[in-house]
Amino acid sequence: KKRNPNDPEFLQAVEEVFESLNVVAQVHPEQLDEDVLLRMVEPERQIIFRVPWVDDNGKTQVNRGFRVQFNSAIGPYKGGLRFHPSVNISIIKFLGFEQVFKNSLTTLPMGGGKGGSDFDPKGKSDGEVMRFCQSFMNELYRHIGPNTDVPAGDIGVGGREIGYLFGQYKRIRDEWSGVLTGKGLSYGGSLGRTEATGYGLCYFTEAMLKDKGTSFEGKKVVISGSGNVAIYACQKATELGATVLTMSDSNGFIYDPNGIDLDTVKEIKEVRRGRIKEYVDSHPLATYTPNERPWSIPCDIALPCATQNELDLEDAKKLVASNCFCVCEGANMPTTPDAIHYLMSNGVLYAPGKASNAGGVACSGLEMSQNAEHLSWTLEEVDKKLKGIMVSIFETCRDTAMEYGRPDEYVVGANIAGFLKVADAMKAQGCV
């Protein structure tokens, strides 16, 4: 706290992990090494840089760029880039810290990092986004590489942005390499990567439901967000027999009692780059509620897929009151700590994002493998591997929670399992 007084999101993420590590302290104190803990909460490297670019009116704009290389004990730094006006060092550090444990849980050899900028791609022309991405890479290129640090997308960074970033990296380095993941299929991307976080979230949820003798079949699902994660979570949940009732953006949410028509959402978000409220123009039975989040809509399962701290205590009370029995996080840290405690103490099954949304980075790991062997796997192969990884992450969370005397506390299982592997690697490598 003394060292990070102005980083509330980062402290929130660290406190959540430390709360779980208290369980280790009680059950297996010999597994906790203070020296490792001290090193683990300090990023290996933090880079902050100026990103100047020229807008369509010929005016110079300046944004701030970040890359936090948090931990490379088990592999090259790996984690997305976020372009959103709210981005600051606290948010990038919290995301980088979470990423260390998430990547560890995938069992793939990836360390943790995160980056981004306070640049807002909304309302910008393709030319402006390209010039921004090129300027961003003019600095970032010297810090990354296929065996050093492999960034990917996150909020505000999708296929278009990854393409511009990759093109500039290749131009500067004069080298084609798998330095970024989430690439287009024509230049080294993996089939299934676009869908991986949303699908992975549903595979994790499915495993969790199966373990309790139930499934998505016939369930009402409330989803927040309408970006990459939300869209493919909606698709897979629907395929698995659920009815998805809501989607949202930062301006409000839509509710369709007949179930969300995903073709319309994809057309609005992926083709027109429009706003979710446009959905009601072609669906007269659906409603749009501005300035609110969707948690007041009664449901069985809630999948927050937008951003951090988007589900607070009041929202948790609404969910419990409507008999929602399962909350699985697609976004990173979307549920506030008091909301998590409330949900769990009311018997709601709760899965933390670092476990349930790990499908995206797992598939990025598969993209790295394909790039390294200069091969492309089929969609079936990738999807099968993704499903296998998500089921195994669920089992790890469940079994670890059980082993440490906290059955069904998947957050405890995720934090402990993620931590132990990284801590072990750090100890083996000495004080570095």
Please identify which residue in 177, 250, 369, 376 interacts with ligand NDP, judged by CB under 6 A.
250
Measure CA 123 to chain center. 24
- Which tokens hold the place of 337? 């700590």
Minimum distance from CB of 425 to ligand NDP (Å)? 22
Asked if 389 touches ligand NDP (CB under 6 A), the answer is: no
DSSP state of 75: S
- Identify whether 114 is a catalytic site residue: yes
Please identify which residue in 360, 365, 413, 418 interacts with ligand NDP, judged by CB under 6 A.
360
Which of 133, 325, 121 is CA-nearest to residue 222? 325
Query: 381's torsion region: left (phi>0), alpha (psi -120 to 50) or beta?
Result: alpha
Beta carbon nearer to ligand NDP, 192 or 413:
192
Please identify which residue in 130, 302, 306, 328 interacts with ligand NDP, judged by CB under 6 A.
306
Integer-rounded Cα Rg, in Å, for the chain is 21
Asked if 113 touches ligand NDP (CB under 6 A), the answer is: no
How far apart (Å, rounded) are the C-alpha atoms in residues 351 and 202?
A: 11
Asked if 237 touches ligand NDP (CB under 6 A), the answer is: no
Beta carbon nearer to ligand NDP, 144 or 196:
196
Interaxial angle between packed helices 379-403 and 193-211, expressed in degrees from 0 to 180 and rounded to the nearest 10: 40
> Which one of the spans 46-54, 203-211, 222-230, 404-412 is the region binding ligand NDP (CB under 6 A)?
222-230
> Which one of the spans 51-59, 133-141, 246-254, 375-383 is the region binding ligand NDP (CB under 6 A)?
246-254
The number of residues making up the chain comes to 432
The residues near 262 (Cβ < 8 Å, ≥ 6 apart) are: 231, 234, 235, 238
Q: Name the strand (E) or helix (H) holding 32.
A: none
Interaxial angle between packed helices 228-239 and 193-211, expressed in degrees from 0 to 180 and rounded to the nearest 10: 50
Asked if 162 touches ligand NDP (CB under 6 A), the answer is: no
Is 77 in contact with 111 (CB distance < 8 Å)?
Answer: yes
> Which one of the spans 62-70, 164-172, 243-251, 284-292 is the region binding ligand NDP (CB under 6 A)?
243-251
Please identify which residue in 65, 151, 156, 365 interacts with ligand NDP, judged by CB under 6 A.
156
Asked if 154 touches ligand NDP (CB under 6 A), the answer is: yes
Minimum distance from CB of 27 to ligand NDP (Å)? 30
Please identify which residue in 197, 246, 396, 415 interacts with ligand NDP, judged by CB under 6 A.
197
Beta carbon nearer to ligand NDP, 128 or 154:
154
Asked if 111 touches ligand NDP (CB under 6 A), the answer is: no
Site string for ligand NDP, 307-326 (x = CB under 6 A): x--x----------------
> Which one of the spans 152-160, 209-217, 336-344, 400-408 is the region binding ligand NDP (CB under 6 A)?
152-160
Neighbouring C-alpha atoms within 13 Å toward the C-beta of 432:
9
> Which one of the spans 163-171, 208-216, 219-227, 295-303 is the region binding ligand NDP (CB under 6 A)?
219-227
Is 311 in contact with 339 (CB distance < 8 Å)?
Answer: yes
Minimum distance from CB of 376 to ligand NDP (Å)? 19
Beta carbon nearer to ligand NDP, 134 or 307:
307
Minimum distance from CB of 153 to ligand NDP (Å)? 5
DSSP state of 306: S
> Which one of the spans 68-76, 141-149, 154-162, 411-419 is the region binding ligand NDP (CB under 6 A)?
154-162
CB count, 10 Å around CB of 146? 15
How far apart (Å, rounded) are the C-alpha atoms in residues 311 and 247?
A: 14
Asked if 229 touches ligand NDP (CB under 6 A), the answer is: yes
Residues paired with residue 288 on neighbouring β-strands, in sequence order:
254
Asked if 155 touches ligand NDP (CB under 6 A), the answer is: yes
Catalytic residue, candidates 114, 236, 318, 354: 114
The residues near 255 (Cβ < 8 Å, ≥ 6 apart) are: 245, 246, 286, 287, 289, 294, 297
Q: How far is CA 341 from CA 25, 221, 304, 315, in A?
A: 20, 21, 16, 13
How far apart (Å, rounded) are the C-alpha atoms in residues 410 and 394?
A: 8
CB count, 10 Å around CB of 263? 8
Please identify which residue in 227, 294, 352, 365 interacts with ligand NDP, judged by CB under 6 A.
227
Q: Which residues are catalytic?
A: 114
- Which residues of the chain form contacts with ligand NDP (CB under 6 A)? 153-156, 158, 197, 225-230, 249-251, 305-307, 310, 330-332, 357, 360
